[in-house]
Amino acid sequence: MTDTPTVLAPEEQVEGLPPGFGEGLAGKAAFLIAVAFSVFQIYIAAYGSLPSQVVRAMHVGFLLLLGFGLIANLRATGMAAKAAFWTLGVLGFATGLYNWIFYADLIRRSGFLTTPDLIVGTLLVVLVFEAARRLMGLPLAVIAFLFLAYCFVGNHLPPPFIHRGYDFAQLVDTFAFGTEGIYGTPVYVSAAYIFIFVVFAAFLERAGMIALFNDFALGLVGSWRGGPAQVCVLSSALMGTISGSGVANVVASGQFTIPLMKRFGFRSAFAGAVEATSSMGGQIMPPVMGAVAFIMAETLNIPYAEVVKAAIIPALLYFGACFWQVHLEAGKAGLHGMAKAELPDPWEAVRQHWPLVLPLAVLVYLLFAGYTPIFAGTMGLALTIVLILGTPLAALIGPFAFRVVFWLALGLAAASFMRFGVNILSLVIAALVVACFAFKGGRETLRICVDSLAEGAKNALPVGIACAIVGIVIGTLTLTGIASTFIGWIISIGENNLFLSLVLTMLTCLVLGMGIPTIPNYIITSSLAGPALLSLGVPLIVSHMFVFYFGIMADLTPPVALAAFAAAPMAKESGLKIGIQATKLAIAGFVVPFMAVYTPALMLQDAGPIAASFGYPVEVAYIVVKACMGIVLWGAAAVGFLARRMAWWERIVAFVAGVLLVAALPLTDEAGWVLALVWIGWHCWRARQASTRA
């Protein structure tokens, strides 16, 4: 193993908060709270010795304490405001302790809350709303408030919106103490799965994974046509394997990639769109895929590996469409690749940093071997810590052969957890920590680990708070039954026209996603549209992936397009123009969900008629080839270039051929293939003639 120095990742801005933890004693306090939060979650993940309800309550308590503490340190001005926010944070943490201390009593008096219970429950709801407003923005808080208000006034509304009415105590019991409100499935998933994977990503980034991805992408595709933009797409796809954040990735990486693309000759709007589209695609790139995938697996009660399996082909098509349109745009503008002599060797980068790939490989293996995501994530995190702590110790060993023996012994000791349990891995880490305390270089490595724990907790804040407040929406849907009204409406339309139901569902996701992040968007719309689409014959996982994809597309779709507007300052271009370009680049994200509904084999789900005649692999291969041809045609139509610039009517022909290929109607495949092949052959022949004359 090559002993390379540990590389610190640049500090990133978390949604709603500037970088860092603050200055002085208050900053140290916030930092230590973040570290304690991560240690608590890792201990629970490894040993799980507390009841689920207590873990959920403490998770939200830590979120409120850290969230309000950081708001006080980083955004509040004046001592009074800082003290007020810290007080809110302490009160929020106290609600978690209350659930822990009185856990047995709360179970015994469920449905018959005492006055202190009502006070604590009401305080929890108010604090969650305020934290969401401060950290996630006003739209999400407003949407959740409208659902909460419906619980209070819905009994005065006309049919079909009327419900029987609920008293205050019942609402507090549902939202603040039950498992259908704030402590519902989203918070459970945040506490059990998401937090561990966010910390896992923070450790990998601090260990130098970003440098590995960037060097590998530069060396591999930097010399392709449109090199800098291709590098942006590939590095974002690779980052998506460990980090599912979208808008935050735009801000973090866009400050480097967007100016590089502009200097290379790409238009400002296109450069911003490449970064926005690629970063948002990280949420659909296995194996981690971001928070939504874990929530989906828990909601559908299926193994996480099934969600990953359904996402593999669509993710490859999504990034393939980005690569293709960058290639076409560069050809249209006459841009070439970067000089190979100036680029790093991608395989040398892998050789130097290959140990960092091991935890990711273990994670993938455990997920597909049937282990739970919490076990896989915890083991991946633990192995990353072992690698980071072992590196400075190995550097002290002189002869190469001895270093090899050291790493083999350490690897065998760490791998023995598969037989002897998590305790053996804990002992290995403890031994490494003690050894690192003995010398200066080791102590610096320990500091990196502590920083990663704190940064991981801070990065988990927006996700956790979003999961908490969206519990209000889920609780309202469950309590009042209003979801059945929407479901019945979708079903009544879909009985006559499934496509129209899908379009309405898509528009709901896009409109809702203009104001709220992907996680609450998915949770709300899947609760409404998922059962409706299932009753119309759409496989359950496909219907949920349909909603998931359009929740992501909402951040790229004008007029709001949060990811596009996040890229706007760095591109020095209008967010609306970037959004229009991003919509073109993300064409696969708009088309693939519709294709999967009519041909579920695209997501490796139910077999269709082709499988009955030729076998399931043939059907999957044919549908993928057909989707690729559709992307080729629509990419050419969007850019206006294939082998040469296209006339307006050629763009229409290409678009129509693509529509015919994905329509899944009788004879449309045949017509689409004929039209596509004839037009591509004619276009290439004309381009060759033009180049000969020139």
* Contact of 222 with 338, CB cutoff 8 Å: yes
Q: How far apart are CA 47 and CA 93, in angstroms?
A: 22
pLDDT at 126: 95
Q: 17 phi and psi, to 5 degrees?
A: -135, 140
Taken as a whole, the chain contains a residue count of: 694
Cβ-contact 209, 4 below 8 angstroms: no
Give exposure, 185-209, as e/b (b: 16+ Cβ within 10 Å).
bbbbbbbbbbbbbbbbbbbbbbbbb
Q: Is the pLDDT of residue 123 over 90?
A: yes
- Is it the case that residue 584 has pLDDT exceeding 60? yes
What pairs with residue 14 in β-bridges? 17
**Confidence check: pLDDT of 618 > 80:** yes
Which of 429, 302, 300 lies closest to 372, judged by CA? 302
Q: According to the model, what pLDDT value does residue 560 have?
A: 67
Q: Give whichever of 28-32, 112-116, 273-277 has the largest mean pLDDT.
A: 28-32
pLDDT at 514 over 80: no
- Enumerate residues 6+ apart whose C-beta is below 8 A from 479: 151, 166, 171, 174, 180
| pLDDT of residue 271 exceeding 80 | yes
Give the pLDDT of residue 244: 56
| Averaged pLDDT score across all residues of the chain | 83
pLDDT value at residue 85? 94
The separation between CA 58 and the C-alpha centre of its own chain, rounded to angstroms, equals 24
- 383-434 pLDDT, tens per residue? 888 888 888 887 777 777 777 777 777 777 777 776 767 778 888 888 888 8
pLDDT band at 7 (very low <50, low <70, confident <90, very high): very low
- Mean per-residue pLDDT, 32-46: 92
pLDDT for 11 equals 45
Cα pseudo-dihedral 395, 396, 398, 400, rounded to 10: -30
Q: What is the pTM of this model?
A: 0.80
Residue 101: its pLDDT value, please?
A: 93
3 has pLDDT over 60: no
d(CA 191, CA 22): 25
Which pLDDT score, from 0 to 100, does residue 629 have? Answer: 92
Q: In this model, does residue 97 exceed pLDDT 90?
A: yes
CA dihedral of 23, 26, 27, 30, whole degrees rounded to 10: -170
Question: Amino acid identity of 256?
Answer: F
If one compares 17 and 583, the residue with the highest pLDDT of the two is 583
| 573/472 Cα distance (integer angstroms) | 38
pLDDT band at 94 (very low <50, low <70, confident <90, very high): very high
**What are the DSSP E strand ranges found in 206-332?**
none
| pLDDT at residue 211, as a whole number | 77
Confidence label for 245 from pLDDT (cuts 50, 70 and 90): low
Nearest to 316 by CA among 373, 258, 241: 241
- Three-state DSSP at 14 gives strand
Contact 568, 574 (CB under 8 A): yes
Instruction: Kindly report whether the peptide bond that precedes residue 355 is cis, defined as omega within 30 degrees of 0.
Output: no
pLDDT > 90 fraction of the chain, expressed in percent and rounded: 19
Cα 376 to Cα 200, 677, 688, distances in angstroms: 11, 46, 54
Q: Which alpha helices (DSSP H) does 265-303 contain, by range?
A: 268-281, 291-300
Burial 343-381 (b: 16+ CB within 10 A, else e): bbebeebbebbebbebbbebbbebbbeebebbebbbbbb
* DSSP code for 311: H
The residue type at 494: G
pLDDT > 80? residue 290: no
Does position 10 have pLDDT exceeding 60, yes or no?
Answer: no
